[in-house]
Amino acid sequence: MLVLLVLAALLAAADRYLVHLAERTVADQAQASADLRTRPTVTIHGFPFLTQAVRGRYARIDVSATDLDRGGVRLGRLDATLRGVQLSLGDALKGVSSIAVESLDARAVVAFADLAHRSGVVGMTIEPEGSDVRVTGRVRVLGQTVRASALSRVSLRNGRIAVTARSVRVLGQTTPGLVNALAGVLDLLVPVGRLPYGLTLTGLDVTPQGVVLRAESGPTVLSAS
């Protein structure tokens, strides 16, 4: 019995060591494929690892990267779920130049501060308000500078984040005609940029942490660009 327990412990330890090596291999390839500045965090799901490794197919691998600049607004975090990952045990241990993936889905977080920064309006703030956002900033209109606020809808428009006012009000002012003159002034249209891993935007949600972009991809290959 003691021998069996020792063998089981050794197999469990070997399993965890091998999964660590495989996660590093996937992380290196995910970093190279997306041209990331730092290695992403990778988690291979399923136990034991060796069962999947022998088959050379992994049902689910999670990849998390931070601080992505894709030629558009800054993505504070990207969490991608890779499904049907093809990686033999030998390649997992020695490294590989490409990894085939059957499908991906991902979430990317855009902080409200980063979205406001792209507006060009000094001092603009964006805060969540239910499924909408509250946009506030100082703008020049009808020859005067006023502080205005808009309750705005957030949506996707041709690969860009669109922030469109539903209603606008001027703070501390009662001048007639100001509200009408502010139409569109607090609206934003911010490009997301090219997403990694062949991901295509499918939708978004407003959360307390920021605008969360949803994206997905069909079969793709992670390889150095």
**Contact at 8 Å (CB) between 183 and 167?**
no
**Are residues 67 and 11 both part of a single domain?**
yes
Identify whether residues 106 and 170 lie together within a single domain.
no
Segment 10-19 shows an average pLDDT of 56
125 and 156 both lie in a single domain = yes
The CA distance from 162 to 154, in Å, is 6
Using pLDDT thresholds of 50, 70 and 90, give the confidence band for residue 94: confident
Q: Are residues 12 and 83 in the same domain?
A: yes
Pairwise CA distance, residues 65 & 40, whole Å = 5
CA gap 136, 123 in Å, rounded: 8
Instruction: Kindly report, residue by residue over 19-65, the tens digit of the pLDDT.
Output: 777 888 888 888 888 888 889 999 988 777 777 777 888 899 999 99
**135 and 174 both lie in a single domain:** yes
Residues 214, 172, single domain; the answer is no
Mean pLDDT of the chain: 85
Residues 96 and 203 occupy one common structural domain: yes
pLDDT band at 15 (very low <50, low <70, confident <90, very high): low
Based on the domain organization, do 95 and 200 belong to the same domain?
yes
Q: Do residue 104 and residue 122 come from a single domain?
A: no
Q: 68 and 144 in one domain?
A: no
Same domain, yes or no: 62 and 16: yes
**Do both 44 and 55 map to the same domain?**
yes
Query: Could you tell me the residue range of the domain that residue 85 belongs to?
Result: 2-111+195-223
pLDDT digits (tens, 9 = 90+) for 67-87: 888 788 899 999 999 999 998
How many domains would you assign to the chain? 2
| Confidence at residue 10, expressed as pLDDT on a 0 to 100 scale | 41
Q: Which two tokens stand for residue 41?
A: 């965090």
Q: Which pLDDT tens digit goes with each residue over 159-211?
A: 999 999 999 888 776 566 777 777 788 899 999 989 999 999 999 999 999 99
- Average of per-residue pLDDT across 124-139: 93
Angstrom CA distances, 103 to 179, 182, 197, 219, stand at 47, 44, 10, 5
